Structure formats: C-alpha cells, structure tokens
Amino acid sequence: MILLGRVPNPRMAQAFIDYLFNLDIDCQLRQQQGFELWLVTTDQQQLAQDEFEQFIVNPSHPKYLAASWTNANPQISAVGHSAANVEMLANFISHSGPVTLVTFGVAVVVYLSYLLGFNFVYQALAFFPSLELAQVSQIWRLFTPTLLHFSALHILFNLVMWWYLGGLIENKVSSSKLLVILVLASVFPNIAQYLMTGPAFGGLSGVVYALVGYVWWRNPKVGLYLPPAYIGFMLVWLVMGFFDLMGIKVANGAHVGGLIVGCLLAWFDNKREPNK
C-alpha cells in the first residue's frame, strides 16, 4: 500500500475516497497522524497522485460531493463514518475536562434512573422538603437538585450548554475554577429557587446561567468569549420565563441567582488579576 497523503478531517477524506472509487481506484482511510489516504494497489498510482493534488487545491469541487452521493460501496462508506465518529468523540473530549465530563456523566446516569423508574434516586437528591436545622446531616441536598432533569429536552439543552461553556472555562481558566462555579451556582440559586417555589425543581440551568455570566463579564484576555447574539438570546429566555409564555415551569430563581453568581465571580477574578 502507498500513502497518498493526509487530510484534516474524515468527511473530507471520504469524499475523495468515493471519487477514486468511481474511477475504479481502491483507496482506504486510516487514522494515524491525522487522517491518511492509502492506495491499495500501484496500478494507477500516478493517476491517484494527480487526482489527490487537484483535490488538495480545491476539495470543495462539486465532483467530490457528487461522488459521495453516487458511491454504492458500503464498505468504503463505513470506513468514513467510523472515522467521523472517532473525530466527533475526540472533539467532545478535547473540548472538555474532568469536571465537565464527570458532571455530564453523573447527570446522564441520574436521568436514566428516572427513566427506569428508580424514584428513590430523585428522592435522595431533591432539595430539602423544608429548611430545618435538623436536616443539616443531608447537606448534599443544597447541591444535588442541579443533577435532576425531568424531560429529554430539559437535559439535552442543559448538557449541551454545560459541555460547551464548562469545557471553555475548564480549558481556558482551570478545572478548579469550573468546580467553584458549579458548587456556588448550585447551592445559592437552589436556595433562591426554594424560597420562590418550594422544593419541586431541578436542573443544570442555574449553573448554565452562571457560566454565561462568568464568560460574559470575565476579562476577555483569558480567552473567554461569547457572541453578543448568544448572550442576548439567553437574557431574552431569562425574561420570558417570568411571563409564563412557554407553558412550562421555569426555575426563574435559579436562573437569576446563577447569572448573579457568575457575574460576581467574574468581577472578583477581574479585580484580582492586576495583582498577579
């Protein structure tokens, strides 16, 4: 086998493999140092190399897309899809850190317990039925409602935002900072939500708003940035929650509390920065 060259992503590689297949040239994809294209036989080596040079110059040419649509070789397509899945997983992990991943995984496991009918898990993690000194031995209940979700859409939205924003902070600042935000933006917003509506609530959305506030107010020199349109969307969503326009229960106290916690932590870190 002969190495034709390397490309930056598997989707790009698959398009070229499909194109060569239509020319009766057998080419395979391997993930080594990047995504490598290997020519199986040497019969048409020169033609394959010439085509690869043209491909690198203009990989978006319509003929490559057309080849992908007309390719009828399922074995070749499977190679590309497998590599794409590997790339997706690698991107997911590289954008994350231990705090992001562990919280993500625990929230998923807790939600699966809900789907399977293990109600005792939610009962053990829910907020205190009432704030009494006698219940201080179950102090974890101040935090654990953050891990409770009640629908697929609920957990999907929260985990996507947690992964994106939490991973951003963990990579650009530190894991310890994300852990501090997670704890503070769980405990204080959860207390605020309890005072507003009682103990029937849950979800990572308060923490998500803390992450939004932190990234929004943090000094951009640390590498954190959110597009203004994104911040505007989150603020509009926050306000909409107070007017019952969506027909669902919204943890407004946790959202506002989380946003305040995130902004205050960013302000505090910005004030400390000149002294470093």
Catalytically annotated residues? 205, 255
> Residues of 173-192 as b/e, b for ≥16 C-beta within 10 angstroms?
beeebbbebbebbbbbbbbb
Dihedrals phi, psi of 64, to nearest 5 degrees: -75, -40
- Give CA–CA dist 125/177, Å, rounded: 24
Q: Are 210 and 251 in contact (CB under 8 A)?
A: no
